[in-house]
């Protein structure tokens, strides 16, 4: 018995997933006490059910995570057969290792919390670092937004385009896209000087007179993205696009994007995007069908790898 429930962080995505699968969304009540504590109750029987809880760690991040943990506990105590946390965006993923003294590995902390509260499985998409899967002792299904983004660029048919990795860590992802689109690859060599701040150094590859697509897993304050776009323009790139899976878009991100040289920013709806962020140059692609197919495969115990492009 398949049951899909939604937290409050991205109910629109849950609704789209349920519509795609032609499944009625699970009934619940999710409110707050006057002091902000979360009050949650399941309003239907889930005993023996295969439960999927859709809750990306959208801002406010900590509130979204706490809400997810409380929901999972309720489903466990209600005797659900299996509980899958569906987190299209996995928060704290940028803190996946000790890169300086006396810092936490916060991505592991979140994994420990999810496991401790009773999650049986995690479904996520485009992790900031793939090795985060190893922080879990439960099955992790790691999807890629590549099929959705590739479909978009194949439909717009950009001639003479080059795929650009914004850093060395994203080369594998960018190379995959370049291979699928049968085009060239360039790399931006950057030096990060602080959190949310990077200094652009050099561009490796030929972009002179070409349209370019910057490919990355997330955009937060957009500072690095805007600098990368300007560096590409200074080196002779024509139209500059960016394709980002997770549009966090916090702080000055929108004002930076509006004043940037970017032609268009293509993102997915893995994170809820409020009306105040829906600027003209923002193109939002839905991953509901991708997530829906993964949920169906998990529920029916069939291969999730069929959703990957090789």
List active site positions: 190
198 Rama sector, left if φ>0, alpha if ψ -120 to 50, beta otherwise: beta
d(CA 80, CA 48): 5
d(CA 5, CA 193): 41
Q: Characterize the bridge pairing of strands 161-165 and 140-143.
A: unpaired
Q: Yes or no: say if 236 and 209 are a contact pair by the CB < 8 Å rule.
A: yes
Residue 233 in tokens: 């323009």
Q: Yes or no: say if 26 and 44 are a contact pair by the CB < 8 Å rule.
A: yes
Q: Characterize the bridge pairing of strands 82-87 and 50-54.
A: parallel
Burial class (CB in 10 A: 0-12, 13-18, 19+), 123: buried
């Amino acid at each position: 018995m398949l049951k899909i429930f939604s937290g409050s962080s991205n109910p629109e995505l849950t609704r789209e997933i349920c519509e795609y699968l032609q499944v009625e969304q699970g009934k619940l009540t999710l409110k707050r006490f006057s002091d902000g504590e979360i009050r949650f109750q399941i309003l239907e029987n889930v005993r023996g059910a295969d439960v999927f809880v859709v809750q990306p760690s959208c801002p406010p991040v900590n509130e979204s995570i706490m809400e997810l943990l409380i929901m999972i506990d309720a489903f466990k105590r209600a005797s659900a057969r299996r509980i899958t946390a569906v987190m299209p965006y996995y928060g704290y993923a940028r803190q996946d290792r000790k890169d300086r003294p006396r810092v936490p590995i916060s991505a592991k902390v979140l994994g420990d919390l999810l496991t401790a509260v009773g999650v049986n499985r995690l479904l996520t998409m485009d992790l900031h670092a793939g090795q985060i899967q190893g922080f879990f002792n439960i099955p992790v299904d790691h999807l890629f937004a590549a099929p959705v983004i590739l479909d978009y660029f194949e439909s717009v048919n950009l001639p003479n385009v080059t795929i650009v990795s914004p850093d060395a860590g994203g080369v594998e992802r960018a190379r995959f896209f370049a291979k699928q689109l049968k085009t060239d690859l360039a790399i931006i060599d950057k030096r990060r000087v602080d959190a949310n701040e990077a200094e652009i150094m050099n561009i490796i590859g030929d972009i002179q007179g070409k349209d370019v697509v910057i490919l990355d897993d997330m955009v937060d304050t957009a500072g690095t993205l805007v600098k990368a776009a300007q560096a590409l323009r200074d080196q002779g790139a024509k139209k500059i696009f960016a394709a980002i899976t997770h549009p966090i878009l916090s702080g000055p991100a929108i004002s930076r994007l509006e004043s940037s040289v970017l032609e268009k920013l293509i993102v997915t709806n893995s994170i809820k995007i409020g009306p105040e962020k829906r600027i003209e140059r923002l193109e939002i692609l839905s991953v509901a069908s991708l997530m829906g197919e993964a949920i169906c495969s998990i529920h029916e115990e069939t291969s999730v790898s069929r959703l990957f492009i090789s």
